[in-house]
Amino acid sequence: MKFTPSRSFWAVLAALVIAGAGAVASQAPSVSSADLVRQTVDNELKHSGDSPKFMFRETRETPHGSSTKLMVETRDAMAGMLIALNGKPLGPGIRQAELGRLNHLAQDPDALRHKRKQEKEDEARVNRIVKALPDAFIYEPDGDQLGVPGIGKPGDGLVRLKFRPNPNYDPPSRTEQVLAGMQGYLLIDANKCRIAKIDGTLFKDVSFGWGILGHLDKGGHFLVEQADVGGDHWEISHMSLDFTGKILLFKSLNIKSNDVYSDFRPAPADLTFAQGVELLKKQEAELAENQRHNGSQK
């Protein structure tokens, strides 16, 4: 799985959203659920970060409204351009501010290095959680189903595995502590060697940072779905987060978002951030022209 910082938060939960993708070893009937997950993780870590780059659309819904962005993965960092709020094009002032933000990142090496550093730190946390998955949970078979649009590949068989915390697991750091209160299920396309879906719920309050930094409330939920976007390349297609809790024991935490990722197209492998920004501007202009053309025909 390629980790994309635009699809995560680290205030508390970056560790939770990353289990929704990754390659898995082919499943033979004799392979136990635990072995399958361990092979999955070994393969995921081995191939982390080597997937092709893509340009795509991100639509996010929160209690405050919706936003739409054009995104492109570059060799430097993820570039994203806001193009709509609540389904409507940006006003001149907001659009100018967005262009200014992107131009600043493209032209300021220090700002871009800082952005890349943050992405690398988040990716390292992600890898810690991925590495913990075989030991943190107990897995068991729970039937099978077929892939549908946005979840795996339509028509392909998916193996369902339930998971619950392993009582013998001792989290090596606070990064992995949240896993101790989580249970749910995942779907694996064993033939394509991919995880198509993971759905997890906190069945109890969970402290992070040994109770010093805060906690997450029982009932918190996350869902990540992944799909074949063409050419046997898989990307996250949907992510939903719904958590409450406290940070530093007094500041309330309320995270509720629903993200859909669509319109995936290959991007050049050696694309720089500045080139990515220009590509986003070109795509934005094409979309605006299409909207004007369609509007004039009505």
3-class secondary structure, 234: strand
Helix (H/G/I), strand (E/B), else coil: 164: strand
Give per-residue pLDDT as tens, 213-272: 778 899 999 898 989 998 888 888 999 999 999 887 678 888 999 999 999 999 999 999
Query: The tokens of 124 are what?
Result: 């390292």
Measured CA to CA, the distance from residue 108 to residue 9 in angstroms comes to 24
Host H or E run for residue 105: helix 92-107
Residue 121 has pLDDT above 60, yes or no: yes
Q: How far is the C-alpha of 60 from the C-alpha of 236, rounded, in Å?
A: 14
What gap in Å lies between CA 163 and CA 168, rounded to an integer?
Answer: 14
Residue 64: the pLDDT is 93
CB 121 within 8 A of CB 14: no
Q: For residue 52, give the DSSP letter.
A: P
Q: In the chain, what are the domain boundaries?
A: 5-297
Phi, psi (degrees; rounded to nearest 5) at 212: -85, -40
Residue pair 72/55 in contact by the 8 Å Cβ criterion? yes
| Rg value, the chain, Cα | 20
pTM above 0.85, yes or no: no
φ/ψ of residue 60, rounded to 5: -115, 135
Using an 8 Å Cβ cutoff, are 175 and 206 in contact?
no
What distances in angstroms separate CA 151 from CA 78, 140, 162, 184, one per listed residue?
24, 21, 17, 17
CA-nearest of 79, 59, 45 to 268 is: 79
Question: What tens digit of pLDDT does each residue of 3-46 get?
Answer: 444 444 333 344 343 333 333 333 334 468 888 778 777 766 77
Taking residues 101-112, what's their average pLDDT? 95
Residue 156 to residues 78, 108, 193, 262: CA-CA distances in angstroms?
A: 31, 46, 12, 20
Local confidence band at 289 (pLDDT 50, 70, 90 cut-offs): confident
Question: Buried b / exposed e across 203-221, counting CB within 10 Å, b at 16+?
Answer: eeebbbeeeebbbbeeebb
Residue type, 249: L
Say which residue the tokens 């649009």 belong to.
Answer: 149
* CA 245 – CA 217 distance, rounded (Å): 5
Q: What is the pLDDT of residue 283?
A: 93
